[in-house]
Structure formats: structure tokens, C-alpha cells
């Protein structure tokens, strides 16, 4: 489940070449900006955070980290990685979908 928390006072216009990391998240594009992740929604910007603990697909032997070849996205106290169209993070020996 994704929370619907409006990001107030967002005056920057995101888009191609705006300078922020952008990635596909389901049916929309998320942007990393000022330490959080948000998306445009019905004329305003929403924080785009999940509230569920959802296990990601099996990675086999792949380990995300510096130089692994996937886009790194700062997210709170950890780093998520974009992998096969998903944003996820390591969590106690497995990966969680974010």
C-alpha cells in the first residue's frame, strides 16, 4: 500500500533533464528530491512511500552496492537500488520492495 501524503510547497518542475534522479514506479514516475521520493498526482506532489513490508523477487547471487550497475537512490537511512523496474533495499538477508 502507498500512502497519500501531499508534499506541500513544491515549486520545482520535474521532467527530463531537471537534474533529479527519476525512475518508473508502476504507472508513474518518481523523483528523488531533497532526500525524499515523490510523484505528481492530480495537480500536486505526493510523497511516494509504501507502508507495507513486501519481499522483493529472488536476486540469486547479485548483491547491490557501490558499482553494482544499478541506479542508487538515497532513501532515509539507507540506499535503495533500481533493479528490473523495481526500487528495493537490503533488509536482514533479503530485499524489500519500496
Q: For residue 1, what pLDDT is reported?
A: 44
Specify whether the CB–CB gap between 93 and 58 falls below 8 A.
no
Mean of pLDDT values over 22-31? 82
64 or 46, higher pLDDT: 64
H/E stretch holding 80 reads strand 78-83
Number of Cβ atoms within 10 Å of the Cβ of 30 = 25
Q: For residue 73, what pLDDT is reported?
A: 81
> Per-residue pLDDT for 20 more than 70?
yes
20 or 11, higher pLDDT: 20
Least confident segment among 1-10, 36-45, 51-60: 1-10
Number of Cβ atoms within 10 Å of the Cβ of 2 = 14
Can you tell me the distance from the alpha carbon of 50 to that of 1, in angstroms, rounded to the nearest whole number? 5
Task: Work out whether the CA dihedral 82, 26, 2, 13 comes out positive or negative.
Answer: positive
pTM: 0.62
Amino acid at each position: 500500500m502507498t500512502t497519500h501524503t501531499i508534499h506541500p510547497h513544491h515549486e520545482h518542475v520535474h521532467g527530463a533533464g531537471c537534474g533529479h534522479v527519476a525512475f518508473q514506479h508502476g504507472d508513474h514516475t518518481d523523483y528523488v528530491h531533497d532526500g525524499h521520493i515523490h510523484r505528481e498526482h492530480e495537480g500536486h506532489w505526493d510523497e511516494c512511500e509504501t507502508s507495507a513490508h513486501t519481499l522483493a523477487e529472488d536476486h540469486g547471487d547479485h548483491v547491490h552496492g557501490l558499482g553494482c550497475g544499478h541506479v542508487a537512490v538515497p532513501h532515509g537511512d539507507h540506499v535503495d537500488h533500481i533493479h528490473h523496474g523495481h526500487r528495493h533495499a537490503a533488509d536482514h538477508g533479503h530485499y524489500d520492495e519500496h
